[in-house]
Structure 1
Amino acid sequence: MKETLNNRLRYFENLKQSIGIAYLNLFVFIVLFIAEISIALVSGSKALLAAGFNNLSSIIISVGLLVGLKVSLKDPSHSHSKGYQQFETLGNLFSSFVMFLMSAYIVIEGGKGAIFSFYTSPDSPGNISVSVAGGAGFVMLATFLINRKVYQKVESNSINTLMKDALSDTLMNFGTALGILLSIEINPMFDGLTAVVLGLILCRMSYLIVKENVFHLSGGFDPEMVENYQNVIEGIPGIERIVDITGKMFGDAVAVDVTIEVTGKMTVEESAVIAETIEQELASRFDVFDVDVQVRPKR
């Protein structure tokens, strides 16, 4: 029990750190959104406008993650006996859907801009657009590095989502600066084409995040980890047979259900000791949040 309690306390401490990082990302995204949209409307840059709307999606992503993280901190109830940790995954899923929809919008608008440039001669964006996009790229690179440093410490799925979003924003802004520069020096068509390419990259990244979160919400679990649990349990004396092992993700928390068979001559107290040993071993070796062990006599 002590190990699982320590894991729970560590999990909730990690949640609080994730909330702090989410607030930091939200502040950065709001500042960059205002700056890029303002300059894009003045300069007429499609790529910079796309980068600005990408920051808007990042704002929505951060808010969605914050809601999920805050709900995850709630104590267990009768309706959610294991707690509300899955709301963290729901927040990630919502955020990744928003990222996907916004990337599709960027592709469509960028494509329109590129096609439009074939039939007209739009004004090239000014050099200030290049400076704003490049500056935003460096800000997002710093944000990405902060997210990555914290993620390496707490390994939170929410921070992982923020980290990937910050990386996509870094690529978006540097790519935008390059596209605007090419549109000024070579052809205005590059402004729209850059938005299309960057939008497709964002589509790919958001798809991978959606896929991962749907996998966890649908009850999916890494079979390699189940095999690792089984190898540990098999080394505990007194167990006749492992009937079943299932794992489930509750946000970043891992819950494991184990069913074992023991000899019919074993007392209730001895069975309880084995169940306690299983819980201690799994919690100490794999940072498991909750372990339920069902013991039944061998038939």
Structure 2
Amino acid sequence: MSFRINKSEQHAKKDPPAYLIGLIGMLLSVVIAIGILSLTDFELYSYSILFVLPLGAIALGMISTSVYTWRIVSRGYKPSRQHYAVSLLMAFITFFLIQYGEYQTTYVTEDHTINHQFKGEPIRNYTDAQENVLTFPNYLAFKLKTGETSFIHRGGEVIEMNSSSGSNWFSWSLSLVGFLLGSTFPGWFSQQGTLHCTACKRAYVTEHKLGELTFERVTELHDVLVQEIQSDNFNAFIDIVNRYDIFKNNEAHDLQETYVINIGVCPNCNHGYVIMRHYSRIDAEGGSFSEDNKKIVLPTTGSFAAQGFRYVKAV
């Protein structure tokens, strides 16, 4: 008796876990934050707009989990609650790695000026008022109790303002929240404008446009279109789409809402879909945006989808 090893499965087993690949994003976030700090003495992670929107922390949080999320999506998976939990943990660790990097690059010159260009003595050689050596935990506690807050003036000037312990804790906590919030954005963005296969849950559906109908026409013909799909009658379906296509009937101008009719197929299991994506006009030049919550997804047979793809290639 002989056995044959599936090469694709064998290769998949050798692929490193997504969280290991995700370490690249974490490292990139740390390098950017510490690099900017070393070059300009500016704490990007603590930069906020109007003291309530932690823009710098959100950006670094997004970077820290972007590679991890890319790895999940590139393998055909949809980010799950477990993946989001891992993203939060990775962002939490990255946040403190940046704090530790700041500690290691904080130096004091002879005139007691703090810098991050390795000039003078490292901060770890100093003690606080209670003569506690400024280890990393002590440095962090000391920084939160006393210090200055930096913010950027509208003209681009960095302004230093004396801050209290309460405001320091608020700013630090806000940065941490911004970091965690930003870590979830790559997963959310990856789902916009895409359809994950509900049959195998292992791939994203490949879509091709068949036509575009008015909102009112789709509402009117919805049941008929569904009937043709359930009957596995692609020819009758595409005849309806072509008959009422806004471009073939010169109806594209002055329309506020339309549905783009796409044919889709899962590259992993060949499950078919008809996807009707809703678009709303936003300007007079024809610009529009898709409202993902208004899309209509109708499952089809594989043969229906195959006919649809052959039709797209033929026209």
Question: TM-score with structure 2 length normalisation?
Answer: 0.30
Question: Larger strand proportion, structure 1 or 2?
Answer: 2
Question: TM-score with structure 1 length normalisation?
Answer: 0.31
| Bigger-Rg structure (1/2) | 2
Question: Larger helix proportion, structure 1 or 2?
Answer: 1
